[in-house]
Amino acid sequence: MAQMVPQLLRQQLAELASQDKRFDGRGRWDSRDLILETDILYNAEGSAKVVLGDTIVYAGVKFDVASPYSDRPTQGSLMTGAELRPVAHRKYEPGPPSPESIELGRVVDRGIRESGCIDMEALCIVPGEKVWRVMLDLHVLSDRGNIFDACATAAIAAMRTAVVPAERFDVGEDFKLELSSTPIMCSYQRVGGRYVYDACEQEEIGGDERIHITLGDEGHLHSLQKGLRGVLSPAEFTEILAQAGDRCAELRELVHSKEA
């Protein structure tokens, strides 16, 4: 029975789409309100909170000193974790990380990592012996749709305001984690047959596949991911890629505005 309701919802969403309308009245490429705050958590060396409509997520950055990988003796490393804990929605159950949470963490991680914005060499303390490990954790507190973009925005904002706690580890003076660029993710979901930006909870329940695009400062692609059931044509991708270019630029400015 639980699967019947989505079926009715799908019909409703298809009808709305045929009139170029959305469930909550937004235009096809409109975002819900996005509020970004940074540097808000005691004990995190970088932190950010994103409220995107009724979706709330936190990102926190911690550091520790680790041995470098033997094939990259002068490079620090990044580790990204994401937790879809039961706090965030009735649907989430306790237990080992779900495929959904693993995907979330890995897609956000790839967008940041693959943009090359972190100078891993700058995180070397003693070559071959000690490097900084950056530990980025995403914590979803309220899931009402599009946690990917909420998390990715919080993540890059937390990273860009993080301070490496060198004094606490007795390896010199604290310094700002320098990021050379600001990769931004935008996610599109097929709802009622066409793609929309920033799907809300109802659109996710009644929607199909989802495309996550991470773009760098120059508009280059750094990460793509298709999730969920559904297929797309090359032409459809071209359309959302163009939209993503504009929206990423807006979000990049917002992130920059929250750097002290």
Partner 1 sequence: MGGYGDVQLLREDGKRLDGRAVDEMREVEIKAGFLPAAEGSAWVKHGLNVAVAAVYGPMEAHPRKIQRQDRAVIDVRYNMAPFSTSDRIRPGFNRRSREISKVTAEALESVVLVERYPRSKIRVEIEILAAEAGTRCVGITAASVALADAGIPMKDLLVGVASGKIDGIVVLDLDKAEDNYGQADLPMGIMPNTGEIAFLQMDGDLSPEEYDLATEYNFKAAHEIHELMKQALLDSASGGDV
DSSP code for 64 = E
Q: How far apart are the first and last CA of the chain?
A: 51
Among residues 19 and 202, whose Cβ is nearest to partner 1? 202
Cα separations in angstroms, 101 against 82, 140, 166, 224: 6, 10, 31, 17
Distance CA 168, CA 164 (A): 9
Among residues 17 and 88, whose Cβ is nearest to partner 1? 88
Site for partner 1 in 54-93 (CB under 8 A): 54-56, 58, 60-62, 64, 81, 83, 85-90
Distance CA 39, CA 16 (A): 40
Among the residue ranges 14-22, 24-32, 122-130, 134-142, the one whose residues contact partner 1 (CB under 8 A): 134-142
Among residues 73 and 116, whose Cβ is nearest to partner 1? 116
Among 32, 110, 160, 190, binds partner 1 (CB under 8 A): 110
CB atoms within 10 A of CB 131: 24
Q: Given the structure tokens 């032409």, which residue do they identify? A: 235
Residues near partner 1 (CB under 8 A):
1, 3-4, 7, 41-44, 47, 54-56, 58, 60-62, 64, 81, 83, 85-90, 94, 96-97, 99-100, 102-103, 105-106, 110, 113-116, 135, 137, 139, 141-144, 168, 209, 211, 216, 218-234, 237, 241
